[in-house]
Amino acid sequence: MENLKILTIFLLVLICACGKEKTIKETIKLRTDTFISSISNSNNADLSYLSLANNATKEERIIVRLPTSNEDDKTLFNNCFDLDNVCSVFFMPVAILVNILTSCSNAILQPANLTSAILIFNTNDGSSVASGALNINLLTKPWFHSVTWSTAHPFSSKGKWVSQGGDFDTSTSFNANCVGLSSGACAAGEIKFEMTDYFKALISAPNTIHYGMGIRANTALNEVNIYSVQASSSLSPRIEASYTGSCSSLEVSEKHVYYLSENLP
């Protein structure tokens, strides 16, 4: 289930340590990615694709969350007796953000040193979605991998979305797809979202709550299928980030695989 899902995060990190520069490539688990449909209550979290659509027949939206804890979601949810309170699964510890962005210690992880962070998806058939056609927003409610159009989680009567299709926080704004990117442009089949300012905000406020993000079309859109993390492809959802800083240690590997089921180093 969710603990098997992989988010490949390619990091181009310029690390200055005693005059040495290294390029780091990391693979980090994602809690889950899935999509919800206005015409189905199916659990789509185990599928090898995500789907977006906005037409006369249906609307489909993507939901994704960054890793926020070493424990699996089910364990943490079962320990939450009152979902009026925020469960620890939704906090974004600096230690985990460090593992996402760089192999350096969190002592040198400063907002100003993060120069770029781009969230990238790829369509299954290489087709392109028009620039500006998709919005991405933070979610305001805890959700489980069995999320549907009407229900965020099954753990209490408060698990239903206030607004069907997901509860979105529009007070934090993000550019639409392929607009205002800090690095690169959208190639054929790519859907990119600018994340640099959001990650900087997380670094500045390490106790920030991260319920995840929802992606939806802001215009008419025929169904588009996108690689999910379950596809285990180099084109699965990923973040490309550039970080410049000084490491306090030279213990930096060329490739690091970090599993959230293990303790943080």
154-205 confidence digits (pLDDT tens): 887 888 999 999 999 989 999 999 999 998 899 999 999 999 898 888 878 7
Cα 129–Cα 219–Cα 215 angle in degrees, nearest 5: 65
179 assigned to some structural domain: yes
Highest average pLDDT, of 20-24, 119-123, 142-146, 216-220, comes from 216-220
264 assigned to some structural domain: no
243 assigned to some structural domain: yes
68 assigned to some structural domain: yes
Instruction: Look at 49-58, 154-163, 236-245, 255-264 and tell me which has the smallest mean pLDDT.
Output: 255-264
265 assigned to some structural domain: no
Contact 226, 34 (CB under 8 A): no
Domain of 237, in residue numbers: 2-258
- The confidence score (pLDDT) of residue 145 equals 85
- The confidence score (pLDDT) of residue 127 equals 95
Contact 186, 176 (CB under 8 A): no
Q: How many separate domains does the chain show?
A: 1
Q: Stretch 253-260: mean pLDDT, rounded?
A: 28
6 assigned to some structural domain: yes
112 assigned to some structural domain: yes
Q: Is 134 helix (H, G, I), strand (E, B) or coil?
A: strand
Q: For residue 20, what are the β-bridge partners?
A: 17
Instruction: Look at 33-47, 91-105, 167-181, 217-231 and tell me which has the smallest mean pLDDT.
Output: 91-105
263 assigned to some structural domain: no
Contact 11, 101 (CB under 8 A): yes
- The confidence score (pLDDT) of residue 140 equals 92
pLDDT at 55 over 70: yes
| Portion of the chain with pLDDT greater than 70, in percent | 63
Instruction: Look at 1-5, 62-66, 90-94, 232-236 and tell me which has the smallest mean pLDDT.
Output: 1-5
CA distance 135 to 130: 12
CA distance 240 to 233: 15
Read off the pLDDT band of 32 (50, 70, 90).
confident
First vs last C-alpha separation in the chain: 25
Supply the pTM of this predicted model: 0.78
Q: For residue 34, what are the β-bridge partners?
A: 63
7: nearest Cα among 229, 251, 246:
229
Instruction: Look at 19-28, 38-47, 86-95 and tell me which has the smallest mean pLDDT.
Output: 19-28
- The confidence score (pLDDT) of residue 89 equals 57
Q: Which CA distances in Å does 263 have to 71, 108, 199? A: 9, 21, 23
